[in-house]
Amino acid sequence: MIKNILNNTKGDRWIWLIVILLSIISMLAVYSSTGTLAFKQGKATETILFKHMLMIFGGIALMYISHKLDYRYYAGISKVLMFITLPLLAFTLIFGSHVNDASRWIAIPGTGFTFQTSDLAKLALITYLARLLSRKQENIKDVRKAFIPIMGSTCAVFVLIALANLSTALMLFGVSILLLIIGRISIKQIAVVCLAGAVLLAGVMLLGPRRHTYYSRINAFMHPEKANPDKSFQSSHAKIAIATGGLFGKGPGNSTERNYLPQSYSDFIYATIVEEYGLIGGIAVIGLYLFLLYRCVKIVTKAPKAFGALLAAGLSFSLTIQAFANMAIAVGLGPVTGVPLPLVSMGGTSILFTSIAFGIILSVSRHIDENEQLKIEGLKESNKVVVGDLTALA
């Protein structure tokens, strides 16, 4: 059975390897950093690890299924996702579960799990923009047919996410702009989208329900010496973890700052990794994400259709930007936000949607490989015909 699965696993082999390595790093780091969480919840650390492993294996299963589906089907799926996503984001803002003064989650009845709707929104918007940009290439500069649908969907998703999760909204907006550039949208139209985004951002920052949280976090980042100790607590202990890790780290399971960092297993898991595995371990994680971006860029350049190229580009940019944003925050290069490290941080539905994104990228890669194989087989057949003709003439 395993042999059959391996034989049916297609796409870029290096991306599969990166996913496996990140999953192993995730299990080690989560097991090490959840001792305090297990104590608070009255559970064994192994129980939390087992639940996390189930999510990882479930994600790999979803990635396998996603990569087997022809990527061109995602163009039609994107319309359904956008139809579901917008009202779901609005529902989350009004009726969602409030955690840390933010309404980002919807509780799934009877399961004990929560569902972060912004994870679905990222996947929906990127696939939808890739569809619009690829299908509107002939009249890409037409304001009514192309620009208004693109701008409307981008701005609507941005503001609905930003009201509860500004960092995720900003990253998604940045990825959208990159897609517009790749999709040959004019500079003037891109400038209009950026201006609209700036106006919405100002509205969220000045009038949004979390405006005081944004102010305090930015102030703590800009002026840490003047900030309330409670506001700089996480970033301070993350820096301590990284500083004490040294070159080779304290060793697996020997982190001390995990006992102080409230989110050492999610938002600040990179600090835990550096503390235990040192600068070498931290650079290795960075290298994996850079190599992932490199492999995805190769897929983009080889994709025969615009939709496949835009799809792979958007999803890969989203994953790598999120990864580097998380690591930048851990080392003190940005204000504290709730951004997880893709496929490494402990999470529920975020792991599943990240895995689906990987599966879609691999679906594009699989299509490229199959096309190249068909070309090779076609060339062999034509060579056989030529050889046969020459033999007959002889």
Q: What is the pLDDT of residues 250-306, one digit of tens each?
A: 888 888 888 888 788 888 899 999 999 999 999 999 999 999 999 999 999 988 888
Higher-pLDDT residue of 270 and 3 is 270
Q: What is the pLDDT of residues 114-126, one digit of tens each?
A: 778 888 999 999 9
In sequence order, the 6+-apart residues with CB closer than 8 A to the CB of 56 are 23, 26, 27, 343, 351
- What is the distance in angstroms between the CA of the first residue and the CA of the last residue of the chain? 50
Instruction: Give the whole-angstrom CA distance, residue 194 versus residue 92.
Output: 26
Q: Is 97 helix (H, G, I), strand (E, B) or coil?
A: strand
Q: Which residue has the higher pLDDT, 213 or 79?
A: 79
Q: How confident is the model at residue 390 (pLDDT cuts 50, 70, 90)?
A: very low
Evaluate if pTM is beyond 0.95.
Answer: no
108 torsion bin: left (phi>0), alpha (psi -120 to 50), beta (else): beta
Q: Strands 114-116 and 102-107, how do they pair?
A: antiparallel
Closest to 118 (Cα-Cα) out of 76, 98, 94, 90: 90
CA dist 133 and 136 (Å) reads 5
The whole-angstrom separation of Cα 307 and Cα 311 is 6
With a cut of 90, say whether residue 25 has pLDDT above it: yes
CA distances from 66 to 13, 233, 274, 307 (A): 15, 40, 32, 16
- pLDDT 10s digits, 193-252: 889 889 988 888 888 777 787 787 787 777 776 666 656 777 888 888 898 888 888 888
